[in-house]
Structure 1
Amino acid sequence: MRIETQVLERIRALPPEQQEEVLDFIEFIRSRRPIPAKDRPMGLCKGEFRVPDDFDAPLPDEVLRDFES
């Protein structure tokens, strides 16, 4: 017998108040370990922005000073 079937049978045998407790417990468990989001496919933002040619160029001194201070 599958675990899902076993769980459902046992839940159905409980009084409604205890079924609510089971539901609360399930929500508690889910909140502790959220289901990880699926990886987004590459290229969703294709054409949305452009990386400048000088992206890897050193920053100007005034910008560097702002970061270092």
Structure 2
Amino acid sequence: MAADQIGAARWQKARASDAKNDCVEVARLGENEFAVRNSRFPTGPALIFTKEEMDAFAHGAGLGEFSNMPV
């Protein structure tokens, strides 16, 4: 889905984002859904995740499970 077509979305960017806007933005969509987009392409695609999926991702990131991925 195109991010700019999610009418009620209030996008939030992490405070840790850099000056070039190289970051991810998240918007809560109701009680159980979140949208995620690339801040450099605000009209580009958004991915929709459930609260459980976002919780699992945040938990894994907090544990460092993604720290071995090549950059």
| TM, length-normalised to structure 2 | 0.28
- In terms of fraction of residues, the more helix-rich structure is 1
Structure of higher CA gyration radius: 1
| TM, length-normalised to structure 1 | 0.29
Q: Which has the higher contact order (CA 8 A, sep 6+)?
A: 2
